[in-house]
A and B are shown apart, each in its own frame.
Chain A
Amino acid sequence: EAGVAQSPRYKIIEKRQSVAFWCNPISGHATLYWYQQILGQGPKLLIQFQNNGVVDDSQLPKDRFSAERLKGVDSTLKIQPAKLEDSAVYLCASSFPEGILGPLHFGNGTRLTVT
């Protein structure tokens, strides 16, 4: 089966600019997650979708970050305006509807550098 697809792979922007990341989960996976991974740390959950509804966005900095999952498939994560501390790898993951009991499958991530 095809894995989780993410684009772009790399992005360099200046602070205060905006950026968007795209994710296509594994076919049939209802649950989709966006994680932020800062160098040397484990991934931190930003937002979790079940189909096209938000399950958990408690750690999403909503003043600058937004995410949507239209039609319950693809998802986009946007940062506007970006700050230096947003430099990180942004990982998308998906799992089956019974995600609590099943494994997470990750994409290769988007490495964001904010200068």
Chain B
Amino acid sequence: KQEVTQIPAALSVPEGENLVLNCSFTDSAIYNLQWFRQDPGKGLTSLLLIQSSQREQTSGRLNASLDKSSGRSTLYIAASQPGDSATYLCAVWDYGQNFVFGPGTRLSVLP
């Protein structure tokens, strides 16, 4: 059964810092991995989607990498801003046709 974990559970950084969020999954047989952002009281907003054949995806200040063999993905946020404060979740779509979410990392960027 696929399990997804995220470390750290919470992170607080001063504005301007570069930071890395980690996502691990137990079964490497995946179709893709997706990073989401969730603001309090809101739904999930898709940030980046990495297909299993890809190594990374970039969007603005965000860069996500995927190492399928080791069951890991990282989300890199450059020059963090207070507006980046949110919960970041990763999810994998595995060969069992399941889309499994991690518990999320709660990020606070302090001005």
Write the residues of chain A forming the contact surface with B, with a CB cutoff of 8 angstroms.
4, 6, 33, 40-45, 55-56, 91, 93, 100-109, 111
What CA separation (Å) do A40 and B43 show in the bound complex?
14
What CA separation (Å) do A94 and B69 show in the bound complex?
29
Main secondary structure of the interface of A (DSSP, over half): loop
Asked whether A103 lies within 8 Å of B34 as measured between CB atoms, the reply is yes
Residues of B within 8 A of A111 (CB): 41
The residue on A at minimum CB distance from B96 is: A56
Write the residues of chain B forming the contact surface with A, with a CB cutoff of 8 angstroms.
4, 31-32, 34, 36, 41-46, 49, 51, 89, 91, 93, 97-99, 101-104
Pick the residue among A43, A44, A100 that contacts B93 (CB under 8 A). A100
Asked whether B42 lies within 8 Å of A101 as measured between CB atoms, the reply is no
The contact sample of 29 A-B pairs, CB cut-off 8 A, is A6-B43, A33-B99, A42-B4, A42-B89, A42-B91, A42-B101, A42-B104, A43-B44, A43-B101, A55-B97, A56-B98, A91-B44, A100-B32, A100-B97, A101-B32, A101-B51, A102-B49, A103-B34, A103-B46, A103-B49, A104-B44, A104-B91, A106-B36, A106-B43, A106-B44, A106-B46, A108-B42, A108-B43, A109-B43
Residues of A within 8 A of B45 (CB): 106
